[in-house]
Structure 1
Amino acid sequence: MHHAPVVVHRIFPSGGRQVTLRTAVGEEPLGVARSDEDVIEFLRRAGMPDPDEAVLGGADLVEWDSDTPHVYEADPPTDDLP
């Protein structure tokens, strides 16, 4: 089973997504992203070649966990009250 080296985790209730890098010894936290630009910057700092392509190009280098890719804000609560 293939595991992407970068994981963009589920959206926090307050917004933003934890980004981690899979290594031989586990997952290294890179930061909390609030945009694709944040993810690209984290990957650039981690030394990934061509981080723009990794995030925006649909490469198999990034796993988007649980939520829609490229979305960083939680859906606002819906009130069914009249």
Structure 2
Amino acid sequence: MHEAIDINVPIGCGDVAVFPGDIMVGDDDSVIVIPAEIADEIADEAVEMTAYEDFVVERVKAGHTINGLYPATDENNLSMLAEWRKLKGR
């Protein structure tokens, strides 16, 4: 049986420090801790990465090569991404 003996104090979970306000995110494979002070930055980056990955999937399904697309090492792909984002409102 488990009982809470304290609330809103730092804890250790899986050898990681977890502080009040930290964000916990998990799926079938793992759980991560996002420190509260960088949660907004991480969320912004996740939105950007999701948009880029959606763009990549569309390009690959249309028959384009992954080379220079993922990772984005070809500037032409970044130009196409900007157009895609305008078109998709993302």
TM-score bracket for the superposition, by shorter chain length: under 0.3
Which is bigger in relative contact order (C-alpha 8 A, separation at least 6)?
1
Structure with greater Cα Rg: 2
Greater share of residues in strand: 1
TM-score (norm 1): 0.26
TM-score (norm 2): 0.25
